[in-house]
Amino acid sequence: MMETLDGTEWDVVILGTGFAESLLALSLSRSGKRILHLDKNDYYGGDEAALSLSEAEAWASRFAEDAPQCRFSKASVTKPAASEAEHGNQLSSSRAYSLALAPHIIYARSNLVPALVSSRSHSQLDFQAVGSWFVVGSSADSSQVQQRLIRVPSGREDVFQDKSFDLKAKRSLMKFLRFVAAYEDQPDVWEGSRQLPFSIFLEQKFGLPASSHEPILALTMSQASAGSTSTEHALPSIARHLRSLGIFGPGFGAVLPKWGGLAEIAQVACRACAVGGGVYVLNKSIKSMTPAHDDSGPSLELSDGEKLSTTWLCGSVDDSSALRLGTNATPSSAYSTSRSISIVSSPLPSLFPPTSEGGVAPAGAVVVVPSSDASEPPVHMFVHTSDAGECPMNQSVIYSSIAMPHDSGLPHLERAVASLLGAVREQPSPQVLWSLRYQQQHADFEHSLMNAQEGVIVLSSLSCDLVLEDSSLDKVKIAWQKITGESENAFMNFDPREGANDEDD
């Protein structure tokens, strides 16, 4: 009894249900506009989807090819042979997992947080604390190389209690932390060192010993190599980290959305648009687009031949090549990231010390494995407990990434996971029960693409960054303003809906 879309007219057609497209749908959910939201996949979330095990395996075979120009490529799933798997802790059923293709941390100062609150979406989401940052270092003082886990001190008290720094180093570190808190006011200290590698800056200006550089660099979340992480990039990142601490409670400054990261936010956003009357159709892509002419907007032909017209067509560059028709869009830059998702047979409790006495239990930790070669990028790992809703109790999920093409990056990821599992010093040693590896390509397009064609708004896809950047939401706001013509303080600013008595607010 399915209806047809043939001959229908819309105010806004949105292609794809990834993070940016879904937030656009949320922002338009009270606009009274006729919205059609399509996705070529049979699941929500697009490039930011959260998948069960069987969905992830199907996804991997879809993106198994060596197609470097595609958003995802070289995907594969590995499992230890049944005989290798330790008895006791085995994989659970497929739906016990919800694995995020694009795990991100969201700092408390992110512009997303107030937008979720003012759009009343936060009450349908669960956020959890990302507690500690760690660096995996090797103490190679003897012939035996021992991996060890160094917790990054994240505030003044932490520094005082840290036994790995001597008094002089502690003083220097305190001085540095005080500086970062207000670095904008002290340009004389750093302006001259903008392009300087950050570790050289730390040594020259603050006399910080080399042993402290890796923990400090870890707070930048920079995916560049230590040698190419410049002072002007590092300072704002560390300031963001420090300024986010304590906002939602003592002892942490970043959060993650439960149940699969940004996928969950995208779903909540789509639901809000559906409640507002938006029409949702999965499994539908567009075949071609006729550009706007005279007074009529773009018209579309869908994969199964249905034709429809719209005033606005919005979607990511990746979502449909049709959006690129006539624009000759070529990326201004492109880079590849190698990623893996590993399900581990232990909850890895040593990575999740309490955020503070009586405070929230952290569900996420960040582990950085710096390269011994300053010209090679580090491996970043997000470790999530079962509290994050992505795996069953007594297991955990490690999301790893390195800013390298897959062929050279994957061995780094595997070594990093192995060294982390060794460095936690658990008996029996935790095992990887399942893992998905893939390459993610990100292409930056000139901003002019947004105005390439009348009636067409191209939303750039999320970068491979590990931290959700404010620019992601800013771009949605620009698209929303183009469509509605409203002033920006109306963006994501909604009254409570009738019937939804949120007296708790």
Residues 28-47 that bind another protein (CB under 8 A): 43-44
C-alpha angle 195/198/202, rounded to 5°? 125
Q: How far is the CB of 122 from another protein (least distance, A)?
A: 5
- As measured in angstroms, the least distance from the Cβ of 475 to another protein is 22
**Interface with another protein by CB under 8 A: which range of 136-144, 160-168, 384-392, 453-461?**
384-392
When binding is defined by CB under 8 A, the residue of 70, 85, 196, 242 that contacts another protein is 242
Q: Helix, strand, coil % (nearest 5) of the chain?
A: 35, 25, 45
Stretch that binds another protein, among 82-90, 247-255, 438-446, 481-489 (CB under 8 A): 247-255
- Angle, CA 96 vertex, CA 266 and CA 49 arms, to 5°: 25
Tokens of 40: 């070529």
- Contact criterion met (CB below 8 Å) for 133 and 151: yes
Beta carbon nearer to another protein, 213 or 284: 284
- Supply the minimum distance, in Å, between the C-beta of residue 287 and another protein: 17
Binding residues for another protein, how many (CB under 8 A)? 71
In degrees rounded to 5, what are phi and psi of residue 435? -150, 145
Tokens of 400: 């790893």
CB of 143 to another protein, least distance (A): 39
Q: Of these, 167, 358, 372, 489, which contacts another protein (CB under 8 A)?
A: 358
- What amino acid occupies position 160? F
Part of the chain binding another protein (CB under 8 A), chosen from 172-180, 305-313, 420-428, 469-477:
172-180
Residue ranges with strand state E in 251-359: 254-257, 279-281, 286-290, 299-302, 307-316, 333-344
Helices (DSSP H) in 304-438: which residue ranges?
406-423
Q: Is residue 264 a contact partner of residue 229, using CB atoms and an 8 Å limit? A: no
Residues in region 439-498 near another protein by CB under 8 A? 497
The smaller minimum CB distance to another protein, of residues 85 and 242, is found at 242
Compute the CA torsion angle 379, 397, 283, 10 (nearest 10 deg). Answer: -70
The phi, psi pair for 234, rounded to 5°, reads -70, -40
Diameter of the chain by CA atoms? 77
Query: In the complex with another protein, which residue's Cβ is closer, 197 or 362?
Result: 362
- To the nearest whole angstrom, how small is the minimum distance from the Cβ of residue 488 to another protein? 21
Nearest to 74 by CA among 62, 87, 86: 62
Our CB check for another protein shows the closer of 245 and 420 to be 245
Of 30, 465, 493, 486, nearest to 233 by C-alpha is 465
Among 85, 224, 274, 478, binds another protein (CB under 8 A): 274
Among 31, 172, 229, 267, binds another protein (CB under 8 A): 267
Alpha helices in 133-166 (DSSP H): 156-161
- Tell me which stretch binds another protein (CB under 8 A): 60-68, 262-270, 401-409, 461-469: 262-270
Task: Count how many Cα atoms sit within 13 Å of the Cα of residue 273 in the half-sphere of its side chain.
Answer: 29
> Measured from the CB atom, is 246 or 405 closer to another protein?
246
Q: How far is the CB of 5 from another protein (least distance, A)?
A: 8
215 binds another protein (CB under 8 A): no
Applying the rule CB under 8 A, the residues between 278 and 337 that interact with another protein are 278-284
Least distance from another protein to the Cβ atom of residue 368, Å: 18
Q: Which of 27, 154, 212, 223 binds another protein (CB under 8 A)?
A: 154
Q: Any contact of residue 359 with another protein (CB under 8 A)? A: yes
How many CB atoms sit inside 10 A of residue 204's CB? 11
Interface positions, 175-214, toward another protein (CB under 8 A): 177-178, 180-182
| 362 binds another protein, rule: CB under 8 A | yes
65 vs 184, beta carbon nearer another protein? 184
Nearest to 257 by CA among 361, 364, 343: 364
State the nearest-atom distance from the C-beta of 53 to another protein, in Å. Answer: 12
The position carrying tokens 């009529």 is 296
In whole angstroms, give the CA distance from residue 358 to residue 63.
44
* Residue of 116, 234, 265, 366 interacting with another protein (CB under 8 A): 116
Question: Strands 9-15 and 307-316: what pairing?
Answer: parallel
Based on CB atoms, which residue is closest to another protein, 70 or 281? 281
- Residue 90 interacting with another protein (CB under 8 A): no
Coil, strand or helix at 23: helix
Q: Which is nearer to another protein, 127 or 438 (CB)?
A: 127
Going by C-alpha positions, the residue among 430, 434, 423, 339 that lies closest to residue 390 is 434
- Give the C-alpha separation, 500 to 233, whole Å: 43
The stretch among 79-87, 275-283, 420-428, 466-474 that binds another protein (CB under 8 A) is: 275-283
Q: Note the Cα 29 to chain centre separation in Å.
A: 24
- Which stretch, 136-144, 338-346, 354-362, 455-463, contacts another protein (CB under 8 A)? 354-362
3-state DSSP of 406-445: HHHHHHHHHHHHHHHHHHCCCCCCCCEEEEEEEEEEEEEC
We find the least distance from the C-beta atom of residue 457 to another protein, in angstroms, to be 22
The binder of another protein chosen from 6, 67, 117, 407 (CB under 8 A): 117
Amino acid, single-letter form, for residue 181: A
Judged by CB under 8 A, the stretch of 333-341, 353-361, 422-430, 461-469 that binds another protein is: 353-361
Q: Which of 271, 380, 442, 475 binds another protein (CB under 8 A)?
A: 271
Q: Does 389 bind another protein (CB under 8 A)?
A: yes
